[in-house]
Amino acid sequence: MEAAAAAAGWRCRPGGRLDMSHGFVRHIRRNQIARDAYERAVRQARGRARGRLTPAPPRPRRPDQQVYRPRRPADTRGPRLFCLEYEGDDGHVTSVIVHQGDSAEEVTRRVCAQSPLEPALRRALCQRVQDELSKRRGTG
């Protein structure tokens, strides 16, 4: 078998490796590098050509589409009972909506967050809110 290979002009090296002295792989690599350089030059030329073009007039936009807006969740504090308006000594009016599930202390806290009250006025407001809540809830 080896004699036939030697007669055909094949060169084999010990260890089963191919003889690469013919330079065939060098030609393939040189062609690949040249092709990559050419493609890179073409891409750059296209990029420059695009920058020189005058922009086309803008296309007409699509008409406004309806946008889905989910419904606001139902108020967990219950239905509105009344609107509490407090006018301070400076004439500033504080409005707070009172719901069925609110407590008198919570309503007083919301009023005091907007206009601070003295402790005595705070207690009086809490008592008045409690009376109004009990009247409207039907427990008083």
Q: What is the pLDDT of residues 111-134, one digit of tens each?
A: 999 988 999 999 999 999 999 999
Residue 42 lies in a domain: yes
Residue 75 lies in a domain: no
Q: What is the pLDDT of residue 33?
A: 95
Of the pLDDT bands very low, low, confident and very high (cuts 50, 70, 90), residue 79 is confident
CATH number at residue 127: 3.10.20
Residue 36 lies in a domain: yes
Least confident of 16-20, 43-47, 67-71: 16-20
Q: What is the pLDDT of residue 15?
A: 66
Both 92 and 129 in one domain: the answer is yes
Of the pLDDT bands very low, low, confident and very high (cuts 50, 70, 90), residue 7 is low
pLDDT beyond 70 at 68: yes
The residue segments making up the domain with residue 45 are 9-51
Q: Please tell me the pTM assigned to this model.
A: 0.45
Residue 16 lies in a domain: yes
Of the pLDDT bands very low, low, confident and very high (cuts 50, 70, 90), residue 96 is very high
Tally of structural domains, the chain? 2
Residue 59 lies in a domain: no
Q: What is the pLDDT of residue 105?
A: 95
Both 133 and 91 in one domain: the answer is yes
What are the C-alpha distances in Å from 1 to residues 7, 10, 12, 13? 10, 12, 12, 15
Residue 61 lies in a domain: no
Residue 57 lies in a domain: no
Q: What is the pLDDT of residue 36?
A: 96
Arithmetic mean of pLDDT, 48-63 = 66
